[in-house]
Amino acid sequence: MTDPDMTAGMVTPGAATIAQPRQAAALNRTRSSVRLGWLVPTLYIIFLLLPIYWLINMSFKTNQEITGAFTLWPRDFTLRNYTVIFTDPSWYSGYINSIIYVVMNTVISLLVALPAAYAFSRYRFVGDKHLFFWLLTNRMAPPAVFALPFFQLYSAFGLIDTHLAVALAHCLFNVPLAVWILEGFMSGVPKEVDETAYIDGYSFPLFFVRIFMPLIASGIGVAAFFCFMFSWVELLLARTLTTTDAKPISAIMTRTVSASGLDWGVLAAAGVLTIIPGALVIYFVRNYIAKGFALGRV
Amino acid sequence: MDKTWNNNAWFLVLPVLVLVAFSAIIPLMTVVNYSVQDTFGNNEFFWAGLDWFEDTLHSERFWAALWRNLLFSAIILAIQIPLGIFIALNMPKRGWGVPVCLVLMALPLLIPWNVVGTIWQVFGRVDIGLLGRTLAAMGIDYNYVQDPLDAWITVVVMDVWHWTSLVVLLCYAGLASIPDAYYQAARIDGASRWSVFRFIQLPKMQRVLLIAVLLRFMDSFMIYTEPFVVTGGGPGNETTFLSIDLVKMAIGQFDVGPAAAMSLIYFLIVLLLSWVFYTVMTNYGQGDER
């Protein structure tokens, strides 16, 4: 299962003269693996895209067509479902609410995680390993465990149904993740950079902002992406902590499903609209996304 | 990397501590508080000792949900890890195919979880879904609302659809970090494809695979939204996993005491398992650096 390009690149002139037959066999093998090699990711991507296609397909159909006829593409092409969402405040405010708390959460998470990640990557201190593990456990805490106590805690502070409540609640799993990812990226920067800067007379804050942050800019981007992602996809806590004013779009969807029969078309259109922000963000971090999932530690 | 011993670093960690204390320790203490008390409403609480814990540990409902969840996690790992490795090995390494693959594969990861549920709920429906209609047309009796096995298959396939890309991306990152020289050396030794995989690619992927197993286990162990949207825990209780059961108990029936006790047991299981993973991971990392 070696990569075809790589195998081809490794055929050096010297090897070619020594091992002719073996190489011919290897070339045959490579050729067949070229065909198969393309097949695997292609089939996988088709498997990924089929359900999404079906949703998009439904979002452009009328409800009669969805329930009445089985069509592989919209016969009766309509934009009515999208019009409903963009003209009804109870729908589109959901998107605005989601974006507000996601952005708040990303900013808060990064602001607190940056210095902490620096401390973990550069210094040893009392209890550092235990602290790191404790942070990790918060990433692993089932949100279901926290739903009820969060509700009561934020009620006590009068935060229920505000964007801040959801943003803070999502810090539970996003801050540890951001610390983890940033620590991985920061450990990749040689320590000599810090030492040289201090000898040159930089103070810590100045050094951190002027020199260090540009060096790990890609890491910050990736951490921001992951905070965005996990805050955007989470529903349980966001739904528990909001009632009307800060209700996220995903919660509005579940509510509308149960009310007055099913408006499949609008439901599908709302679903499609929730996919778009994610798709846009992925495009910007596509080259770092794999490294980010490995927590910067490849 | 050699790290300097400096306790002032605590000041840099302080903001995280304050924030996480607010969003983790205080709620957790509330749970502990509830787990040892009983209430008849009106905000009057009575000391109940460890009764709720005993009840939970003796309740069939809890054990059933726990085994169901462990089985689910095991199936998920058994499918997603090998499949993810296989797809990553066959990914293009350079050219225009790389960004296309990465972006398309990452797409399911960024869909809100209940929308994932909605997508599969619609996709699998016998009356309006592509999958359901196709299977019905092929003469297969498929109905995830009534048949427990079909419900399980739907939930598992949905999770494979949703999360396999995570394993693929991790393995891809691990593979990309292998220098060409390794492959050249293997070539000179006349290594077969299998031995290249077994002795070069697999060891180099070990670290990312540990992260993949860790993340996939944890997330499948606390799965809530997707199966809740698709099956609502049914038919019967066939797909009621721990989180679904817990939310039903805490918010649906408002049985705060038992729910809190169950939360703590649930959290302790997760904690124990993540400690095992973490120890394995850090020990492996240290061995690597020396």
Q: Tell me the pLDDT tens digit for each residue of A76-133.
A: 888 888 988 888 888 888 889 999 999 999 999 999 999 999 999 888 888 888 888 8
Restricting to A residues 235-254, those with a Cβ less than 8 Å away from any Cβ of B are: 235-236, 240, 249-250, 253-254
- Beta carbons of A256 and A266 less than 8 angstroms apart: yes
Q: How far apart are CA A75 and CA A95, in angstroms?
A: 29
Residue A139 has pLDDT above 50, yes or no: yes
* A41 & A110 share domain: no
B142 to chain A, minimum CA–CA distance in Å? Answer: 17
A195 touches chain B (CB under 8 A): no
The three-state secondary structure class of B40 is coil
* A38 & A101 share domain: no
With residues binned 3-state (H G I as helix, E B as strand, rest as coil), the percentages for chain A, rounded to 5, are 80, 0, 20
Q: State the average pLDDT over residues A226-233.
A: 89
Residue A70 lies in a domain: no
CB contact under 8 A, B161 and A47: yes
- Beta carbons of B75 and A244 less than 8 angstroms apart: no
* A99 & A39 share domain: no
CB contact under 8 A, B180 and A116: no
* A41 & A132 share domain: no
Number of folded domains in chain B?
A: 1
A230 touches chain B (CB under 8 A): no
B237 to chain A, minimum CA–CA distance in Å? Answer: 18
Burial class (CB in 10 A: 0-12, 13-18, 19+), B151: buried
* A118 & A199 share domain: yes
Residue A54 lies in a domain: yes
CATH number of the domain that residue A282 is part of: 1.10.3720.10
Residues of B in Cβ contact (< 8 Å) with A108: 19
CA distances from A151 to A18, A97, A181, B28, B220 (A): 73, 18, 29, 12, 24
The three-state secondary structure class of B284 is helix
* A191 & A255 share domain: yes
* A54 & A201 share domain: no
Residue A204 lies in a domain: yes
- For residue A132 the two structure tokens come to 């790191």
Residue A203 has pLDDT above 50, yes or no: yes
Q: Pick from B19, B196, B221: which is nearest to A171 by CB?
A: B19
DSSP H or E run through B38: strand B37-39
Of A237-251, A255-269, B247-261, B274-288, where does the model show the most confidence? Answer: A237-251
Residues of B in Cβ contact (< 8 Å) with A295: 211
CB contact under 8 A, A153 and B196: no
Residue A74 lies in a domain: no
CATH number of the domain that residue B116 is part of: 1.10.3720.10
Note the maximum CA span of chain B.
Answer: 79
Residue A81 lies in a domain: no
Q: What is the 3-state secondary structure (H, E, C) of A42-93?
A: HHHHHHHHHHHHHHHHHHCCCHHHHHHCCCCCCCCCCCHHHHHHHHCHHHHH
Residue A64 lies in a domain: no
* A43 & A96 share domain: no
pLDDT score for B288:
47
Residue B204 lies in a domain: yes
Nearest CA in chain A to B30: A149
Q: Pick from B9, B110, B128: which is nearest to A229 by CB?
A: B110
Residue A58, Cβ neighbours under 10 Å: how many? 27
Q: What is the span of the domain harbouring residue B71?
A: 62-289
Residue B41 lies in a domain: no
Q: How confident is the model at residue A167 (pLDDT cuts 50, 70, 90)?
A: very high
B60 to chain A, minimum CA–CA distance in Å? Answer: 20
Residue A139 lies in a domain: yes
Number of folded domains in chain A?
A: 2
Residue B52 lies in a domain: no
- For residue A201 the two structure tokens come to 């007379």
Residue A19 has pLDDT above 50, yes or no: no
For A125, phi then psi, to 5°, come to -150, 170
B117 to chain A, minimum CA–CA distance in Å? Answer: 10
Q: Please compute Rg for chain B using Cα positions.
A: 23
Q: Pick from A144, A254, A267: which is nearest to B246 by CB?
A: A144
Residue B6 lies in a domain: no
> Among A177, A294, A159, A295, which Cα is nearest to A229's?
A177
CA distances from B286 to A80, A106, A121, B84 (A): 59, 31, 14, 26
Residues of A in Cβ contact (< 8 Å) with B80: none
pLDDT in tens, A278-297: 888 888 877 777 666 666 66
Residue B196 lies in a domain: yes
The pTM of the full predicted model, rounded to 2 decimals, is 0.82
B105 to chain A, minimum CA–CA distance in Å? Answer: 7
Residue A24 has pLDDT above 60, yes or no: no
Q: What is the span of the domain harbouring residue A185?
A: 88-293
pLDDT in tens, B7-44: 888 888 888 888 888 888 888 888 888 888 776 665 66
CB contact under 8 A, A236 and B224: yes
- Beta carbons of B244 and B66 less than 8 angstroms apart: no
Residue B30 lies in a domain: no
Q: State the average pLDDT over residues B94-100.
A: 81
Residue A26 has pLDDT above 60, yes or no: no
Q: Please compute Rg for chain A using Cα positions.
A: 25
Please report the beta strands in A90-148, taking only residues with DSSP state E, as ranges in sequence order: 123-124
Residues of A in Cβ contact (< 8 Å) with B188: 15
Residue A72 lies in a domain: no
Q: Pick from A10, A121, A281: which is nearest to B184 by CB?
A: A10
- For residue A42 the two structure tokens come to 């292609």
Q: What is the 3-state secondary structure (H, E, C) of B85-99?
A: HHHHHCCCCCCCHHH
* A17 & A99 share domain: no
Single residue among A41, A59, A77 that ends a domain in this structure: A59
Chains A, B: CB contacts within 8 A come to 319
Q: How far apart are CA A232 and CA A250, in angstroms?
A: 9
* A165 & A288 share domain: yes
Residue B287 has pLDDT above 60, yes or no: no
CA distances from A53 to A62, A268, A275, B43, B232 (A): 16, 11, 12, 51, 24
Phi-psi domain of B139 (left: phi exceeds 0; alpha: psi -120 through 50; beta: other): left
B174 to chain A, minimum CA–CA distance in Å? Answer: 6
